[in-house]
Each structure stands twice: as C-alpha cells, then as structure tokens.
C-alpha cells in the first residue's frame, strides 16, 4: 500500500462520503434512537476498508497512514460531512480516542488482543469513566468506582453513565480508583458482573450503541489487563482527552459545513417577496456569518492540532478549541435551521440531525463552562507567579 499525500486522501474521502455514505442516510438502520445499527456499521466499515479508508489516522502497523494531527484534521473534516462518515471510516468516538490511547500506552500483547480488531473495524469499544450518583464527571477526582486487590487479581465495583457505545462494545477501558490514584483496565464487556442497566434516550443519535448506564459488580480483572501502569489512570486520561476533544471538533466541523451547504443552496433557490431569500439581508447575513464561524473554527482546529504535533499535551489549547469550535458550530447549525424554516426542523434534510448532534457536542468532552473555569484558573495561577 503506497503512502498517498494528504490532498489525495482528502479527495478520496470526499468522494467516498458523497458517493457511498450519504446514500445510506435514509436507510432505516441509520435512524434508530440509539445510533446506527450494528449491521449497518459493519456494512459501512467493510466499504471503507475496501476503499483503503479504515482508521486512516493510525500508524501503518495498524492499517492507517501515520497521519499528523494537522493531516488528521483535514481528513476528519471531510469524513464528518455525513454523520455516518466517521462510523464508516472507524473514526467515531469513543473508538478513535481509545485507539489513540492504546497505540500510546498498551503493551504489545494488549495491542494484539484489543487494538488490532478495533483498528480493523471488526469490533467496537467503550471508555468507562463518567459516573452517576455524585461520582466522576467533569471532575475526575470524584471517581467512585473502585478496584481492589483480591486473589492475585483485581475486583472492580462501581456504576458508570453516559458510556458511549457501551451497548454492543467488545471491550471497555474502565477507570477505577486504586490504592493511591486511578488505574485503567482493559475489560471484555462480556465479563461476568458487567450489566447494562439501560441505554439513555439522548438528543443525539449518531454513535452506535448510544449512551449507556453500566453496572460493574465484582468484575474480575488480571494484572495483564491493566492498561499501561497501575495508578497512572489520571495521567493517561489526559493523553486521551486532548486529542479526543479536538477530533470531535474536526468531525462536527464537517457536519456543520454540510448543513451550511444545504441552507445556502436552499436560500439561493427559494423565492419570497419577488427574489431569492438569500437576497434578503436577514437570510444572506446569517449565511455570511456561517462562513466566518466555519473559517474561525477551522483555523482554531489547525492551530491546536499543530500544538499536539509538537508532542505537547495541549490541555489548555484543546480546552480553548473545544469551547470556541463547539459554540461556533452550534451557531452555524442554528442559523441553518432558521434559514430552512419548517424544513429545518423536519427530517427531510440532515440539518435537523446536525443541529441535535452539535448541541450535544457542547456538553460532551467537557461543557464550555468547565473549560472556561479551567482557563480562568490558569490565568490566576500565571498572575500569582508574576513578581
């Protein structure tokens, strides 16, 4: 397999999304309340695999092209032009973030057992950190799930919520409190003691498996299931979270661009009061503002991706990007609904779904308020250190 340049990859991705993926959007299997069906997901991944577009961001060892974060941004924006694009190309959350973490941290044996089938699109995964009942959420230090030593292994107990893809996942990365910190465990989801309590009904519907509440009751794990090293879970979470925040921005940028294109096309065709509605400033100016927000979001993504490409964790930069991009893209989606009028709140176009998905994105991977609070703390810390 030759190494294509990024322009070629983007062009291939755009054609794949346009010619193969978008026609599936009206498939009943794509429109369930808890995300695309498993059958449809596997069908789409098979087509992406045949096109050489499965998990392209990974290293060549795992079937990808070894892309930088800047290159990944270009490709993921193209893939996000359909909500089904990231599913087809195996770059949807949480799998994409889990693959990134496994490549960075997992042992060779763990990569063989867990990463290889995940990268090939043969299975799905979950990331079990968020908890109900006063447990970990935006504040990971509130982690309540525990893992204790017992009979040469570990016994995990706790309850998790909003676990994306938990229903149908082959394995999960489980974050649990251990003696002096937190530890991540790689746990097959069919392990005795793991039970899906329910799948939540949420505003979004693009991620296979939806978002589940999961109970872990006396779940057994062995030492070789520890991801990386024991007690390093909080540090590994940072390795995963900054790039994962940014790839969310990339994918939803593509969806917002699709919504804008649909709204702009409609505004140029739809007549009202003797002229196309784009010639009415109330409509034309909304679409002009869309162009501004899309370009600013694109530049913010590329700036943060460049920081990550230096090897930095990019915690501050990804917080800034997450706030700016999620809010800009929501403004874009909201304007598109308004331009389309009644059609914008119907299922006749994908705009209604894009609006719902991006509204949820403003919360997922940290709501804007938490990121702003973190940035404010940094400002105070830097000022306090000045002479």
CATH of residue 213: 2.40.110.10
- pLDDT given for residue 326 in this prediction: 98
Task: Give the phi and the psi of residue 285 in degrees, each rounded to 5.
Answer: -70, -35
Per-residue pLDDT at 122: 97
In terms of residue numbers, what domain contains 318?
234-384
Same domain, 292 and 346: yes
Query: How many angstroms separate the CA atoms of 1 and 60, rounded?
Result: 9
Domain assignment present for 108: no
Statement to judge: residues 194 and 248 lie in one domain: no
Strands (E), 256-382: 271-272, 275-276
CA distances (Å), 67 to each of 6, 59, 198, in order? 8, 7, 37
Residue 117 lies in a domain: no
Residue 87 falls in which region: left (phi positive, over 0), alpha (psi -120 to 50) or beta:
alpha
Instruction: Report yes or no: 249 and 80 within 8 Å, Cβ to Cβ.
Output: no
- pLDDT beneath 50: ranges in the chain: 1
Residues 182 and 258 both lie in one domain = no
Please report, for the domain that includes residue 244, its CATH number. 1.20.140.10
Is 110 within a domain? no
Note whether residue 24 is domain-resident.
yes
Judge if 356 and 215 occupy the same domain.
no
Please indicate, yes or no, if residue 293 is contained in any of the structural domains: yes
Choose the final residue of a domain: 231, 263, 296.
231
Q: What are phi and psi of 265, to 5 degrees?
A: -60, -45
Q: Are residues 240 and 380 in the same domain?
A: yes
- In a domain, residue 120? The reply is no
212 and 316, same domain (yes or no): no
Give pLDDT, residue 140: 87
pLDDT at position 3: 61
CA angle 206, 209, 213 (to 5 degrees): 120
User: Which of 231, 256, 282 is the endpoint of a domain?
Assistant: 231
Judgement on whether residues 58 and 192 belong to the same structural domain of the protein: no
Q: How far is CA 175 from CA 81, 97, 146, 192, 230, in A?
A: 32, 15, 9, 17, 11
Q: Convert the pLDDT of each residue in 202-213 to its tens digit.
A: 999 999 999 999
**Cβ neighbourhood burial of 236 (10 Å; 0-12, 13-18, 19+):** buried
Whole-angstrom Cα distance, residue 218 to residue 26?
43
What is the domain-level CATH number for residue 56?
A: 1.10.540.10
For 345, which DSSP code?
G
Question: pLDDT, tens digit, for every residue of 335-364?
Answer: 999 999 999 999 999 999 999 999 999 999
Q: Domain check: are 264 and 373 in the same one?
A: yes
**Is the Cβ–Cβ distance between 69 and 306 less than 8 Å?**
yes
254 and 341 both lie in a single domain: yes
- Grouping H, G, I as helix, E, B as strand and the rest as coil, residue 196 is strand
Cβ atoms of 75 and 10 within 8 Å: the answer is yes
| Residue 2: predicted pLDDT | 54
Distance CA 46, CA 22 (A): 15
Q: Both 222 and 253 in a single domain? A: no
Residue 130 counted as domain residue: yes
* Strand pairing class (153-164; 125-128): unpaired
Domain boundary among 203, 231, 259: 231
C-alpha span between 208 and 210 (Å, rounded): 6
How many CB atoms within 10 Å of residue 276? 15
Structurally, the chain folds into a number of domains equal to 3
- Tell me if 13 sits within 8 A of 47, measured CB to CB: no
Are the C-beta atoms of residues 1 and 169 closer than 8 Å to each other? no
Return the SS3 of 27: coil
Are both 267 and 188 inside the same structural domain?
A: no
Please indicate, yes or no, whether residues 343 and 246 belong to a single structural domain of this protein: yes
Strand locations in the chain (E): 125-128, 146-150, 153-164, 171-177, 182-188, 194-200, 211-221, 271-272, 275-276
DSSP-based three-state secondary structure for 3:
coil
Alpha-carbon distances, residue 271 vs 199, 258, 276, 351 (angstroms): 44, 22, 4, 20
Q: State whether residue 188 is helix, strand or coil.
A: strand
Beta bridge partners of 168: none
The answer to whether residue 191 sits within a structural domain is yes
């Amino acid at each position: 397999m030759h190494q294509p340049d990024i322009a070629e990859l983007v062009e291939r991705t755009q054609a794949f999304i346009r010619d193969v993926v978008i026609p599936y959007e009206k498939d009943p299997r794509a429109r369930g309340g808890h995300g695309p069906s498993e059958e449809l997901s596997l069908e789409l991944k098979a087509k992406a695999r045949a096109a050489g577009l499965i998990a392209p961001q990974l290293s060549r060892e795992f079937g990808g092209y070894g892309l930088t974060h800047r290159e990944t941004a270009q490709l993921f924006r193209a893939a996000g032009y359909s909500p089904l694009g990231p599913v087809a190309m195996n770059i949807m959350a949480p799998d994409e973030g889990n693959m990134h973490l496994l490549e960075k941290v997992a042992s060779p044996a763990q990569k063989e057992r867990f990463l290889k089938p995940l990268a090939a699109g043969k299975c799905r995964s979950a990331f079990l950190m968020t908890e109900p009942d006063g447990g970990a959420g935006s504040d990971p230090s509130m982690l309540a799930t525990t893992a204790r030593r017992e009979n040469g292994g570990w016994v995990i107990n706790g309850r998790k919520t909003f676990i994306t893809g938990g229903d149908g996942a082959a394995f999960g990365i489980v974050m649990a409190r251990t003696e002096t910190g937190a530890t991540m465990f790689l746990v097959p989801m069919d392990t005795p003691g793991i039970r899906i309590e329910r799948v939540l009904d949420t505003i979004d519907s693009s991620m296979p498996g939806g978002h589940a509440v999961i109970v872990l009751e006396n779940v057994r794990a062995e030492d070789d299931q520890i991801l990386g090293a024991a007690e390093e879970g909080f540090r590994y979470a940072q390795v995963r979270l900054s790039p994962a925040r940014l790839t969310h921005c990339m994918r939803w940028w593509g969806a917002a661009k699709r919504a804008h294109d649909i709204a702009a096309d409609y505004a140029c065709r739809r007549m009202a009061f003797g002229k196309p509605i784009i010639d009415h400033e109330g409509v034309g100016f909304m679409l002009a503002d869309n162009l501004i927000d899309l370009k600013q979001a694109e530049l913010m993504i590329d700036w943060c991706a460049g920081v990550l490409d230096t090897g930095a964790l990019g915690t501050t930069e990804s917080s800034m990007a997450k706030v700016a991009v999620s809010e800009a893209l929501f403004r874009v989606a909201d304007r598109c609904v308004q331009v389309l009028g009644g059609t914008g709140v119907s299922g006749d176009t994908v705009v209604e779904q894009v609006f719902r998905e991006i509204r949820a994105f403003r919360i997922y991977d940290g709501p804007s308020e938490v990121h702003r609070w973190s940035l404010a703390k940094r400002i105070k810390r830097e000022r306090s250190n000045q002479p």
